[in-house]
Amino acid sequence: MLDGRGSVKRRAGARLWLSAGWLAVLVLAALLAPWITPKDPLAQDLFLGRLPPFWETGAEPGYYLGTDSLGRDVLSRILYGARLALIVALVAGSITCLLGAGLGLLAGFLRGWVDVLISRFIDIWMAFPPVLFSILLIAVIGPGLGSIILAIVIIDWTRFARVVRAEAMAQGAMDYVASARVAGRGRLGIMLREILPNVLPTIVVLLTLEMGIAVIVEAILSFVNLSISTDDPTWGGMIAEGRAAVYQAWWVLVFPLITLFLTVLSFSQLGEGLKDRFDPVLR
């Protein structure tokens, strides 16, 4: 039994490190993209269209993971795509977190009409099919990096708001909050100094998970061809092209898919790992 528990812990640790490791590699790749990419990710050469990866016959030297139908280097596009994916993950994740957690905290701590109003909005939001809603929003605000971030924030704030609201409510009922109130602390003070620190681990875990979701949403929007522009290298855009030509050039789908898969898995496993480590609430 003790052995069993020990091995589970080790596995959880390995999970955490592997995820963090992959994400670190990705960050490095994104930062160093201009120096490490073998080719220009935008350069088209129709004579070099659909070259297979290096170990297949017919491969050209320098195009390690092959090329797409327009002759663009798959590896270079994946590396540049990492920049966009990570920007979306960080910026959209953080803004969503601030908005959602803020509203959740207000609703859960202040209760009353604020809570009624925010909860009603959450209910309405939960009745929207999220993917359709995001596609609709992008169609409305028009494509572009800012639009994607905005769409993610508008759709996903409820993920934070729901959990943080419930958590703030539970914390608000505890004795230490009552004693802070007796001690004469103001409502804002109690909310920020007493409740927020106790909800923070939950928020950090949700933020990690949200980053993975943001990467997926960006990929989905690029896949539906609503994301940035068709030229800019995005993993979702590459996947869309690969899906269309999956029988002719599987590598155009496989390599961005593996990258996206590992990235989403890493964010999620990192979140789960952090949850097991730090957060008694979500466990």
Residues that bind another protein (CB under 8 A): 1-4, 8, 120-121, 123-124, 126-133, 135-137, 139-140, 142, 212-213, 216, 219-220, 223-224, 239, 243, 246-247, 250, 253-254, 257, 260-261, 264-265, 268-269, 272
Closest Cα partner for 235 from 86, 130, 51, 129? Answer: 86
Q: How far is the CB of 248 from another protein (least distance, A)?
A: 11
Q: How many CB atoms lie within 10 A of CB 247?
A: 6
Among residues 32 and 124, whose Cβ is nearest to another protein?
124
Q: How far is the CB of 153 from another protein (least distance, A)?
A: 15
Taken in order 167, 130, 207, 117, is the CA torsion positive or negative?
negative
Among residues 63 and 223, whose Cβ is nearest to another protein?
223
Q: How far is the CB of 222 from another protein (least distance, A)?
A: 11
Among residues 37 and 234, whose Cβ is nearest to another protein?
234
Computed over its alpha carbons, how large is the radius of gyration of the chain? 22
Among residues 46 and 132, whose Cβ is nearest to another protein?
132
Q: How far is the CB of 171 from another protein (least distance, A)?
A: 23
- 159 within 8 A of 191, measured Cβ to Cβ: no
Among residues 64 and 121, whose Cβ is nearest to another protein?
121
Look up residue 266 and give its amino acid: S
Q: How far is the CB of 134 from another protein (least distance, A)?
A: 10
> For 134-172, b where at least 16 C-beta lie within 10 A, e where not — what string?
bbebbeeeebebebbbbbbbbbbbbbbbbbbbbbbbebb
